[in-house]
Amino acid sequence: MKQVVNLDKKRAFFEHLDERRKRHFAALEAESLGYGGQSIVHRAFCISISTIRKGISELERAEDIPSNRIRKAGGGRKKNA
């Protein structure tokens, strides 16, 4: 019962995060669970396994993206001239 309540709280928290923080949170959760953690997080948070793996690699590389940005520079639509 306690695990279900804890999962509900984590899901509620997860919904308020931006893209990058969701990846990192999911990656940390998956790594803390050990073997099979990616699959468990995938099902619990409805996030793709490739996104979890991207979060893990970002954390391992410790990418230095400015805190005021969610995406790397150059991402998104191009401006019309």
- Residue 22 in any domain: the answer is yes
For residue 43, being part of any structural domain is answered with yes
Q: Would residue 30 count as lying in a domain?
A: yes
Question: Whole-model pTM above 0.75?
Answer: no
Q: Does some domain include residue 76?
A: no
Tokens standing for 71? Answer: 């995406």
Q: What is the mean pLDDT of the chain?
A: 81
Range(s) of the domain holding residue 14: 2-61
- Is the per-residue pLDDT at 67 higher than 70? no
Categorize the per-residue pLDDT at 27 as very low, low, confident or very high, splitting at 50, 70 and 90.
very high
Residue 33 Cα distances to 12, 18, 25, 66, 74, angstroms: 19, 23, 13, 29, 35
- Is residue 55 situated within a structural domain? yes
For residues 23-30, average pLDDT: 90
**In this structure, what token pair is assigned to residue 6?**
């804890």
Number of domains in the chain: 1
Domain-embedded: residue 80: no
Q: Could you tell me if residue 38 is inside a domain?
A: yes
Q: Is residue 79 part of a domain?
A: no
Question: What is the rounded CA–CA span in Å between residue 3 and residue 80?
Answer: 50
pLDDT at position 64: 63
Instruction: Return the pLDDT at 1.
Output: 46
Please calculate the CA angle 13-39-53 and round it to the nearest 5 degrees.
Answer: 80
